[in-house]
Every structure is written in C-alpha cells, then in structure tokens.
C-alpha cells in the first residue's frame, strides 16, 4: 500500500527550561514569535509547542503551572493570527491546557499518553481537532527503567489501534499515530519499530515519527545532542520511506531540504 499522505514537517518549540535540546527552548514571547516566523519561512507545516519536558526522568508540573508557562505565547499567536499561516499543535495531555489553546487557534493535540484521559478525547471531538496518539510504556519518570515487550511492533500497533478506535467512537475525525520513539523503549525496540513501520500502514491513519536528536543515535554512534542532526535526518528519511508522513523535528530548514531531495529521487 503506497503512502498517500503528503509529507509534513512539525517544528518543535518548548516553553520550559528543562527540555533536552536547549535550542528548542523559548524564554520570552517576542523570541517565540520570531522563532515561529522563522520556522514558517523554513518550511514548517505544523508547529508543536509544549511547556513540560517529557525527557526520561523529567519532573512533572501542575496543569496550572503548565498553562501559566504557555498562556502569553498562545495569546500572542492568537492576536497575531499566526494560526492562519501554519497549524499549531499543543504538546500536552492536560485538559485545562488543551481547552485553553483550542480556543486560541490551535488545531492539533499531541498527547504522549495516547488519549488515556477521556476528557482529552472529548475536547478533540468538540473542537474538531486532530488527535496525535502516541505510545509510551509507563511514564517519563520511569519509562526507561528496563522496558520490556514480547513483540514490540505488535504490542505498539495494538495499543494505537485500540486508542484510535476509542477516539473515533467519541467523534474524533482526524487521527495521527505515533509509535513513541524513545518513550519506554530501548535501542532494539526503537530500531524494530522504525524498520517495520510499514506494518502500521494498514490501519489507514497518518503516522508521525519524532526521533529528533534522541539518545538512540548516541547508542549507535557516540554523539552529543548538538552533534545528532545527521543521525536524525537518516532516521527520518527512512521513516518517510517506510510510511511516516509527519516528521517532528528541531531543525526545520535542514529537514525541508533533505525531504525535498528524497522526494526528487523517488519521483525521478
């Protein structure tokens, strides 16, 4: 089955000080608007904004604190009508935060907990928002403590299928699936999911992959976070060839060029 979805780039911005890649962090509203406009110029189709780190061992914060971190940024996006130029996604699983941003021009909910909270499903349905369902074993605080699967590809696929069907039963019309690279998975799990990504294509949902600068690259060839762009591009191009249509990344301009070259070769 040929992937029929247009390839899209999702740029990452973090309104917190403990995200693992410091260049994705935003410290004030003015800087945020400049970064958003640069991402649009560089070729982003979606901009994903979060206020809480989900890296391994990260510290959870209250929904009120999460909203406080992002509120002014969201208000500026709304007042400047930037949502007319690009689609905005909220990287959150908190109904308080999600409800606020969906009222302010955001149209995508990127839920790392895979829509476990029915209140989040209802919000996606009520606002006709796209729901990104991600697989994660356990939670960010303990997900990398000896993750285990009998068959990682089948187990992740079954979870995503069940959650997608549940979301549809609530009236969610637009669904994207994310296998959750690095979320409760070791290197072997990540590699198997990427290699067999096409086995999820028969579910007929868009597939998102986000491996940008992640530690799996360091486990293959030693590299700091700052040195992992080549490995990131290799993973993401292979993911596109295996059926992914949305690539979540920190480096929009470089991905735009790599994807265009990849498409030119395939279409030659």
Angle (CA) 152-177-66 rounded to 5° is 105
Spatial CA neighbour of 67 closest among 86, 87, 52, 48:
52
Consecutive H or E run containing 72 = helix 63-79
248 catalytically annotated? yes
- Residues 102, 67: Cα–Cα separation, whole Å: 13
Angle of helix 229-241 relative to helix 252-267, nearest 10 degrees? 40
Residue of 22, 248, 253, 266 marked active site: 248
The confidence score (pLDDT) of residue 16 equals 74
Residue of 8, 69, 185, 214 marked active site: 214
Q: Which fold does the domain 8-267 belong to in CATH?
A: TIM Barrel (3.20.20)
Question: What are the tens digits of pLDDT across the range 118-175?
Answer: 999 999 999 999 999 999 987 776 767 888 999 999 999 999 999 999 999 999 999 9
Angle (CA) 75-79-81 rounded to 5° is 115
Where does 31-75 show beta strands of DSSP type E?
A: 46-50
- Residues 171, 121: Cα–Cα separation, whole Å: 9
pTM across the whole model: 0.93
Question: What are the tens digits of pLDDT across the range 50-59?
Answer: 998 887 777 7
pLDDT of 1 > 50? The answer is no
Question: What are the tens digits of pLDDT across the range 164-206?
Answer: 999 999 999 999 999 999 999 999 999 999 999 999 999 999 9
């Amino acid at each position: 089955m040929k992937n029929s979805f247009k390839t899209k780039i999702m740029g990452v911005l973090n309104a917190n000080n403990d995200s693992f890649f410091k260049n994705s962090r935003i410290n004030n509203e003015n800087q945020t608007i400049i970064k958003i406009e640069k991402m649009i110029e560089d070729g982003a189709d979606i901009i994903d904004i979060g206020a809480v780190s989900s890296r391994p061992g990260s510290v959870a914060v209250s929904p009120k604190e999460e909203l406080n971190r992002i509120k002014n940024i969201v208000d500026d996006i709304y007042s400047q009508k930037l949502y007319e130029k690009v689609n905005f996604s909220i990287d959150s699983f908190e109904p308080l935060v999600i409800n606020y941003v969906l009222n302010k021009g955001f149209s995508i909910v990127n839920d790392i907990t895979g829509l476990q909270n029915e209140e989040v499903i209802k919000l996606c349905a009520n606002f006709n928002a796209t729901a990104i369902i991600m697989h994660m074993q356990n939670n960010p605080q303990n997900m990398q403590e000896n993750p285990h699967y009998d068959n990682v590809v089948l187990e992740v696929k079954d979870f995503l299928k069940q959650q997608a069907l549940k979301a549809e039963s609530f009236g969610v019309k637009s669904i994207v699936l994310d296998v959750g690279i690095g979320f409760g998975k070791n290197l072997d799990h990540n590699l198997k999911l990427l290699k067999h990504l096409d086995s999820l294509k028969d579910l007929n949902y868009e597939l998102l992959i986000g491996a940008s600068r992640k530690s799996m690259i360091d486990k293959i060839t030693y590299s700091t976070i700052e040195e992992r762009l080549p490995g990131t591009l290799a993973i993401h191009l292979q993911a596109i060839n295996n059926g992914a249509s949305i690539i979540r990344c920190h480096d929009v301009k470089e991905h735009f060029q790599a994807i265009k070259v990849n498409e030119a070769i395939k279409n030659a």
